Chains A and B, each alone.
Chain A
């Protein structure tokens, strides 16, 4: 099986000695939606943030299409990041720009020229952003300002921005944590479709086990920075999930 993203022995110690990640290894194949489940503080957000080097891991490797992101810096890191898109709990859109312009900013990594440096967006990327919005059924939002969108709309626009990057891997850090159940459902259906239709490797950190079991191809359970289980969604048993959320040190 091909592996589009391969995390190997990732360890992260925070200043003060707390070990947030302890020798975590996992991989994702194109066309696969992998969901990481875990309690608050299990290290699941740290895992994604280390993978794109928003924070630096203490040890380990993050291989995307054969390149180790953990070892790059500067321009090389910037170029390598282009193949990994990431979305967050907050949509993080630029509030005073249109949805279309927000999507098109996902393409900036491919255009390092004077016009984009002065705040312009390439015309062909605005058109590409339009086709992405059309595919996601969001074309009617194109000219709405980002700060007028609902939470679910904003999150799907953020995903479209990630796609404008033309990534091979899509990481999502609790993308539905601040959405109502219906909008959450829409976002997960979209993530799964992007995996199967576009052959992206999708890694999604979630809080809700039932959403994970319903939509994921594979589920990883994380507890105190260690992987407790890694299994196809259909084989994950409810006792395994209960053990993740059952903590024996806090009430």
Chain B
């Protein structure tokens, strides 16, 4: 404090003081604050966020919870079948996506793509399939091929092609080009170079990425049933519509167990292969 005072007394009026903050900067800060407040404000209005609803809704919530207890185990076989269906949708969707995304990733990797045109086309496919959420794909496929688990498989695989394709392409761009060069000179064909020089090195990350994708897809496939694409989600939707809350409780517990189990297993295997 004394040093501050010393400094202050040291500053005589004719000595230069700190330069002032310019008017332009002050205006910029003020505008940014106001714009920020306006953006959050409109969100509160548009989303009709009324905290008091939480309080009035509490009794309704308690009512549902009371009516959901104890969970109804009468339809357990049917519920378990729904769990299996959910897992199988995710499994097939992931497997199909792995097979289809591999060639796409090769085309979309800058260091091995055969031509600029293929590169741009592959990047385009990846961007579109990734940008459209799997639930929207499910809606489209249910319309195209009808209700059931199969449109769910199609939806997950199409969305996963984009997700896997991008990650795999990035991994291919990081590979050691030495073996690729060596096999090029032996007279190997481009396809042979992919399967014999690129793929063996890619395998650990391919397995890791695919397991992570399976984990994500199991999560997604639990709600695909809401748009008619099969699995446990369809059972939850039906039970909700019939106000069978004890049935819903059973289904939610099973869903939680499935998601947890797959997540743990996928993480454990990924740790082993690292």
- Nearest Cβ distance between residue B272 and chain A, in whole angstroms? 16
Whether A81 lies near B200 (C-beta < 8 A) is no
Distance A164 CA – B182 CA, assembled complex (angstroms): 13
User: A79: which B residues are within 8 A, CB to CB?
Assistant: 187
Task: Report A144-176 CB contacts with B as 1/0, cut-off 8 Å.
Answer: 000000000000001001101100000000000
Whether A94 lies near B185 (C-beta < 8 A) is no
Distance A162 CA – B187 CA, assembled complex (angstroms): 11
- B193 to chain A: closest residue by CB: A108
- Asked if B76 is at the interface of the complex by the 8 Å CB criterion, the answer is no
User: A118: which B residues are within 8 A, CB to CB?
Assistant: 195
Q: Provided the pairs A54-B181, A88-B178, A119-B195 are in contact, do residues A95 and B186 lie with their beta carbons within 8 angstroms?
A: no
Distance A105 CA – B182 CA, assembled complex (angstroms): 10
User: B17: which A residues are within 8 A, CB to CB?
Assistant: none
- A108 to chain B: closest residue by CB: B188
Distance A119 CA – B203 CA, assembled complex (angstroms): 13
In A103-124, the 8 Å CB interface with B consists of 105-110, 112, 116-119, 121
- B189 to chain A: closest residue by CB: A112
User: A117: which B residues are within 8 A, CB to CB?
Assistant: 189, 191-192, 195
Distance A121 CA – B188 CA, assembled complex (angstroms): 12
- Asked if A82 is at the interface of the complex by the 8 Å CB criterion, the answer is yes
- B180 to chain A: closest residue by CB: A92
User: A91: which B residues are within 8 A, CB to CB?
Assistant: 178
Task: Report A67-111 CB contacts with B as 1/0, cut-off 8 Å.
Answer: 000000000001101101111101111111100000001111110
Distance A53 CA – B181 CA, assembled complex (angstroms): 11
Whether A105 lies near B185 (C-beta < 8 A) is no
- Asked if A52 is at the interface of the complex by the 8 Å CB criterion, the answer is yes
Distance A164 CA – B200 CA, assembled complex (angstroms): 20
- Nearest Cβ distance between residue A72 and chain B, in whole angstroms? 12
- A87 to chain B: closest residue by CB: B182
12 A-B residue pairings within 8 Å (CB atoms): A54-B181, A81-B184, A81-B185, A81-B187, A88-B178, A94-B201, A95-B179, A117-B189, A119-B200, A161-B182, A162-B186, A165-B187
